[in-house]
Amino acid sequence: MSRRLLWGIIIVLLITNIASILILTNGSGGNMSDIMDEENLPKEVAKVGNDTITADQWIKSLRSAYGEDYLKSLINEKVVFQLAEEYDLAVNEKFMERELAITETASGIISEAEREQLRKEWKDDIQYTIYRDELLTRDIVIDEQEIQNYYSQNQDRFDFETSYQLSHIVVDDENTAESILDALNNGQAFGELAEQYSIDTYTNQNGGYLGYFTNDSTYLQNIYFTALNNLEPGQFSEPFETTEGTVILYLHHVIPEVELAYDDVKKHIRRLLAKQKLKVEPSVEVLWEEVGVEWIY
């Protein structure tokens, strides 16, 4: 889970808890800006039997539990991006595409609008990580030959192969498959039909979702990739026979390949090798003095 996503979840939970408590206490929702304004909080935010929890107790507890760590994360982010701008740091575009592609393979089924928004968030997280590691390892000297050797030994690891996001429905016989095909052609959702009919107990409760696969995957039978040749994203296949049963395949999305040359990954390898030479990974806080951080809170 990314740093941004983790803190986002924490903040959402905190806001949700604030709203819930006040709704229960006051009997109405109120305006969210009022809810989050400490001056508008009631003196008591909850009653527990004969006891009460005051707003002051609650706010202090939240700050104690989450406030300092979250504030540090915000400071760290600003420090890293300010120094990245100062030192004119940049991320190789093809390397960024490869990192975004890898991240997307763990995203599940999402809409194009969600994908566009998530890619912006992923890009911010990836940039932060790269800039942070570049800044924290900038004084460590790595010989060019060492970088070249690492690339030669691990070259295949840096390319991203075309990946297909798939779901399937597996049934016992062709007649059932044809009935499902009719339902699909009439607009019924693939996931609903998978839950209802698929005999694949590993995927049917998830709408038949398989995940992302490359052409050299050994998890799926070769006939799956033959069926893919006739599909565009958003399309389903004609039924085909496998050793597991009769299958209808659905193609959600395709992430194209990304091939990286030495120059595309040289800085990444330097960071990897430099971090290996660190006995203890330093905190971003060692960079605070360069920017000038005043801890007010």
Q: What is the pLDDT of residues 180-231, one digit of tens each?
A: 999 999 999 999 999 999 999 999 999 999 999 999 999 999 999 999 998 9
What phi and psi values does residue 253 have, to the nearest 5 degrees? -160, 150
Q: For residues 91 and 132, what is the distance between their CA atoms, to the nearest angstrom?
A: 12
Among candidate residues 256, 271, 264, the one with its CA nearest the CA of residue 96: 264
What sign does the dihedral 126-131-136-140 (CA atoms) show?
positive
Strand partners, 254: 164
Strand partners, 236: 250
Task: Check whether 24 has a pLDDT greater than 90.
Answer: no
Q: How far apart are the first and last CA of the chain?
A: 28
How is the chain split into domains, by residue range?
3-80, 93-158+262-291, 163-255
Q: Tell me the per-residue pLDDT of 26-78, one tens digit each, with 9 for 90 and over.
A: 444 444 344 445 556 678 878 888 888 888 887 778 777 777 888 889 999 99
Q: Output the six-digit token pair for 282.
A: 């330093």
Q: Tell me the per-residue pLDDT of 245-293, one tens digit each, with 9 for 90 and over.
A: 999 999 999 999 999 999 999 999 999 999 999 888 889 999 999 999 8
Q: Tell me the per-residue pLDDT of 161-173, one tens digit each, with 9 for 90 and over.
A: 999 999 999 999 9
Q: For residues 262 and 270, what is the distance between their CA atoms, to the nearest angstrom?
A: 12
Neighbouring residues of 199: CB distance < 8 A, sequence distance ≥ 6: 170, 171, 172, 245
Strand partners, 52: 47
What sign does the dihedral 185-188-190-194 (CA atoms) show?
negative
Q: Are 284 and 132 in contact (CB under 8 A)?
A: yes
**CA of 123: how far to CAs of 15, 97, 115, in Å?**
26, 9, 12
pTM given for the model: 0.78
Q: Are 122 and 103 in contact (CB under 8 A)?
A: yes
Q: Domain 163-255: give its CATH code.
A: 3.10.50.40
